[in-house]
Structure 1
Amino acid sequence: MLDRLPLLSVVLVLLMAGCASSQHKAPVEDRNAPARQATAASAPAAGASAPAEIKLLPGAENAGKPGYYTVKPGDTLIRIGFEHGQNYRDVARWNNIDNPNLIEVGQVVRVVPPGVDAAAVAARGVVAARAEARPLDAKLPAAAASAASAPVAAAASATSPGASAPVVAATPPPPAAPRDGDDDLNWLWPAAGPVSAGFEEGRSKGLAITGKAGDPVLAAADGRVVYAGSGLRGYGNLVIVKHNNTYLTAYAHNQTLLVKEDQVVRRGQKIAEMGASDAERVQLHFEIRRQGKPIDPAKLLPPR
């Protein structure tokens, strides 16, 4: 019995050694670990959504092109149409805008009719805007009047009795350059009161004509009403009349509007009553815009 004890001891030692070796295996290199780590890093975490796609606003592909405008903070379709000499409803139609009150900053809208060469329109606007300034009470200078009457006097002396030799009439002036048909408007003063503030480039976009509350405001030329309301900040109760493809006029700060949008008006027709809406005193703020750009009304209105 005692002889078997050493043998049992040896067996127990060997069994313990085997258990220890089974619990401490040699490390195994995982050659695919870097790939799995990279995949895990690039994959979104459980429950996380994929990055949102960048939203392209309507018309973004036309940004910067002639005849298109990018909407800025504070813009409305009414103002955009006004600034580009267009009916805001036309602008909405050209851009498939169902609700004119819903436009987004960054959206690009067409501001010239489809099929129109916007670059040509802009070039024509620059050339034709070079109007000659004249005071409100301008009269024909004496020298010019004498020159204008010279051909008539010469012709009369040539046919008078006793004339010793025929008199050659003065050479007539060269014909005037052809005018754009849109420029041929018969302008009328929109109110009878005195002008309290004139046009000033970059500061005042029109004339301030004073008067009494209720004084008549007249259409300055034939046209169609493209806006009648108070939705343009700083203008109060406003009427905008489009006369042709070139000109529109604006009549601001009225107390009462007497016309509606899309109504045809005639030169001299009463379209509003003077007031002080969105103004410090009773006055008519009157603008003439050519291709949407304000120009001095005194250059087009007749002398008083």
Structure 2
Amino acid sequence: MKINKFFIVTALFFMSLIVFTGFAKAEEINNTSKEKDVEKIRTYLESNVSNMSTKFSTLEKDAKLEDIERIIENYYKENPAPKEMNDDNNISLEDVFPELTKKHEKAYLKSKGILNKFIEDQNESSDLGEVFTYEYENSSKVDVYLGKTGEISITEFKTVKEAPLVQPFAEKQTRIQRTTGISYNATGSKCFTLWAESGFKYDGKKVSPINRDADWNRHPAGSTINLLPQVMPKTRDVVLGKYTYKEVYARLKYESGWGIRWASVTMKSGTVESLVGCTVDGSIYGSAKRI
């Protein structure tokens, strides 16, 4: 029995056309479904930003870190993230806010990964988010950054213990200060807390740390983030001209599925640092940054 070649070629063509059409329709359905999920996530995040802005604005100006964290925790208990943010690994913040993501990347380069610097810039421009500052006793301060994409970053510069009232004439001692960095992802989960603290002795020519300490905490988002302490704590020299300053710092490495936005850029892995430093003249400072 002879087989018509034209018939075979025609049949194969139509079979291929049917398969291709099926794939195209499936892809179209998937794209439509993803667009709906992205829109749902965007609506959720924009609503959160608006609501959290109102809550932070109505807090007392001398609110403390625990007051701020309580506000965040209670809000997200009542307004949990939609399942699309937890179940669909193909959707990221870049998909939800593509234009803002590009602006964030530029801001990250400008801040060089230093959260304090980024917060300072946003406090002036507010083009990527809002900054709320709370100050309380003993020169302690909390800065809260609420990004338009839903993430929250917090830095606290806190006096743990005041300097001694009576000090030797030649050598003086600063207060003991703690710098804390805290990251919340866009789902409202607190990802980590990292802090370093120290006091310093100084005499105008040299400076040295005392009472060094540091710690970190994993939070309920631990199921989506791996944390590994790198340094707890350590001292380093910072040379500026003919002077050598001292810094006490702590580092933490993380890995996250959804991604953490720290000092503006979204990262699924990286190392963050909190530090306290002091000049030879006793000026004490602190910051949090990405390494």
TM over 0.5: no
| TM-score when normalising by structure 1 | 0.24
The structure with the greater share of residues assigned to helix is 2
The structure with the greater share of residues assigned to strand is 2
| TM-score when normalising by structure 2 | 0.24
